[in-house]
Structure 1
Amino acid sequence: MNQATTHAHSAANTNNAATPQAPRVNRAERRLHNLFGWCLLAPSLILLTLFAFYPMLATLWASFHSRGTARRPSVFNGIENYRDLLSDPTFWQVAGNNLLYAGVTVPVSIALALSMALWANARIGGRGLVRTAFFTPTMLPMIAAANLWLFFYTPGLGLLDHFTALFGIGPTNWLGQPGTALWSVMAVTIWKESGFFMIFYLAALQAIPPDLREAARIEGAGRWAYTRRVVLPLLMPTTLFVLINALINSVRLIDHLFILTKGGPDNASKLILYWIWEMAFAYLDQAGAAVMTVLVLVALGLVAALQFMFFDRRIHYR
């Protein structure tokens, strides 16, 4: 029995010796792999640091300092700049303008983009011409589009006044009245952004399997029922993507205002980004511009967090 046990142990040791062991990665090779990975990440990290992280931290630091001059350098004053900004009536007027601007342009642009995408995706003659017509405003530069609409809004000579004259309405200074200036800027934004958002909806519509339409027809569903119960739920991820982009665009409009209204009359059409530029470069109030920038970044961060924590988990069609 002892001899059998001895032979068994010998055979096991022989098998273990014959089995190849996994090569051990030494510390030098592991460090080399880590160094190679950091070298691949270095260009992106450098660019993000120079153009994103450092400006963000510098803006946050500047928002806690007073307005400096050549004779009197800036000093740390805590949240005093935030108190001054929140007590400024112009801030609330500009914030109200931007909320109204976003509340009108975002849903209207999305609704028009979806309608145009459904039309451009339908089996109609001249679909290529329709798509080109819808997308043409997007290809125009911001300044060119603003100058085009500036001609439309010219009192007495513009196309809009010629149209309203057919109904007996006299010339109107669309960009020079507080009641119409912001709405005129909204019209330009909706006209320009709807075609851009249409492209995303059109791509999403073309990605829907045609078998779903055939199945809906077999079940007796009409066009409206198929659109409401199948197409729109499948387009919800695209809608969320377009919504976030539209919200971001609503706080970074500045080109149109330079050409059309310059924020007037009496701040009636002034929006957040234009006011930040005005404070920083026209009034040389770097601290006030930094405070406003920080508040905008916080608001956009909250919107992004809301997207990933709430909407992104509930919109996907299952």
Structure 2
Amino acid sequence: MRQGTAAGSSATREAVHAWLLLLPALVLLVAFTHWPAVSTLVDSFYSTPKGSRAGVWVGLENYQVMVGDPVFWKAVRNNLWFAGATIPVSIALALVMALWVNERIAGRAFLRMAYFTPTVLPMIAVANIWLFFYTPQYGLLEQITGALGLPSHNWLGSPTTALGAVTLVAIWKEAGFFMIFYLAALQTLNPSLREAAAIEGASRWYFFRRVQWPLLMPTTLFVLVNAFINAFRMVDHLFVLTRGGPDNASILLLYHLYEVGFSFWDTAYASAITVVLVVVLAGIALFQFFVLDRKVHYK
């Protein structure tokens, strides 16, 4: 009997000890993730407080305003275009770069560093670098096009090219980040697989398509989730490059959310946009993990 009591007390102490160890992280998670999410959801059903006047219950009015907001739908279209361009291109470039620097080539360490450097740079610094590239008349891109005899063009000031220019900056920064994950995954593959393929006379393309690519699927799923999230939370470089212009040609959802919440100070409407954005991103992540995950081969 005493042994059972002692075992129960020991298990209780271990459980309490475990929860005490988890408590700091749990408090931070609740305080900075769960509570703000619940608070934002509640605020989306109230009006924006004005001075001493508290917000009042308005139900779905903020969501109705969002449905009728042409700038919101412009931001949605731009973000879908932005995601459709950055996600596949940055992942494909990351995979190609990882395959290249994984080979025994001269200057491999330098190439790895060069590809990864954009990732460690702050996005504001990256945006300022590309702002010089895109500057009309004396920017680097203008110097190149001028040397080729092509006419001058305001890449960030034209509605037809502003979003494409912003997209190119995001791809340049994202590809190096995703390359690290692919490179790490490639280095975990058994070298005997390549040797066996060489003995059988398999070409490099066949080896990649039949062996490497299936084994890289778990990494691809992880990268895909991050790419989707990054595509819808990209906002830093818009402050420097275009500020969503010209005429909202390059505005993205998160930048529109920032403008509504902090420029126009309509916090209730901004909360409604936040709720929709979080629900969409959560739905995409759940689809990728629970549907696409079934097609991933871990062994």
TM bucket (normalised to shorter chain) is over 0.9
Residues 71, 169 of structure 1: CA spacing in aligned structure 2 closer, same or farther, 3 A cutoff?
Answer: same
Rounded to whole Å, the distance in 1 between the matches of 2:21 and 2:153 is: 59
Match status 1:77 vs 2:58:
yes
Match status 1:110 vs 2:91:
yes
> How far did residue 22 of structure 1 move?
8.8
> How far did residue 291 of structure 1 move?
0.5
> How far did residue 159 of structure 1 move?
0.8
Partner of residue 5 from structure 2, selected from 11, 21, 25: 25
Rounded to whole Å, the distance in 1 between the matches of 2:138 and 2:268 is: 43
Normalization by structure 2: what TM-score?
Answer: 0.95
Residues 317, 53 of structure 1: CA spacing in aligned structure 2 closer, same or farther, 3 A cutoff?
Answer: closer
Match status 1:299 vs 2:299:
no
Q: Aligned Cα RMSD in Å?
A: 1.6
Match status 1:44 vs 2:25:
yes
Local SS of the residue matching 2:3: coil
Match status 1:120 vs 2:101:
yes
Rounded to whole Å, the distance in 2 between the matches of 1:116 and 1:189 is: 16
Q: Please list every run of at least 4 consecutive aligned residues from structure 1 whose deviation after the TM superposition is greater than 6 angstroms.
A: none
Runs of 5+ consecutive residues of structure 1 not aligned to the other structure: 1-20
Rounded to whole Å, the distance in 2 between the matches of 1:58 and 1:261 is: 31
Letter in 2 for 1:314: K
Match status 1:312 vs 2:293:
yes
Rounded to whole Å, the distance in 2 between the matches of 1:57 and 1:281 is: 20
- Aligned positions of 1:1-318 closer than 5 A: 23-25=3-5, 31-70=12-51, 72-318=53-299
Residues 32, 126 of structure 1: CA spacing in aligned structure 2 closer, same or farther, 3 A cutoff?
Answer: closer
Residues 28, 237 of structure 1: CA spacing in aligned structure 2 closer, same or farther, 3 A cutoff?
Answer: closer
> How far did residue 138 of structure 1 move?
1.5
Local SS of the residue matching 1:269: coil
Rounded to whole Å, the distance in 1 between the matches of 2:58 and 2:181 is: 47
> How far did residue 30 of structure 1 move?
5.1
Amino-acid identity (%): 54
Which structure has the higher relative contact order (CA within 8 Å, separation 6+)?
Answer: 2
Rounded to whole Å, the distance in 1 between the matches of 2:170 and 2:5 is: 59
- After TM superposition, the structure 1 stretch with the greater mean CA deviation from structure 2, 108-117 or 211-220, is 211-220
Rounded to whole Å, the distance in 1 between the matches of 2:16 and 2:98 is: 48
Residues 31, 120 of structure 1: CA spacing in aligned structure 2 closer, same or farther, 3 A cutoff?
Answer: closer
Rounded to whole Å, the distance in 2 between the matches of 1:22 and 1:215 is: 61
Letter in 1 for 2:17: F
Runs of 5+ consecutive residues of structure 2 not aligned to the other structure: none
Rg (Cα) greater in structure:
1
Letter in 2 for 1:193: E
| 1:156-206 deviation digits (Å, cap 9, x = unpaired) | 101111111233222111101111111000111111111111111111111
Rounded to whole Å, the distance in 2 between the matches of 1:161 and 1:173 is: 9
> How far did residue 280 of structure 1 move?
0.9
> How far did residue 32 of structure 1 move?
3.7
| 1:240-297 deviation digits (Å, cap 9, x = unpaired) | 1111111111111111000000010111111111111111110000011101110111
Residues 230, 28 of structure 1: CA spacing in aligned structure 2 closer, same or farther, 3 A cutoff?
Answer: closer
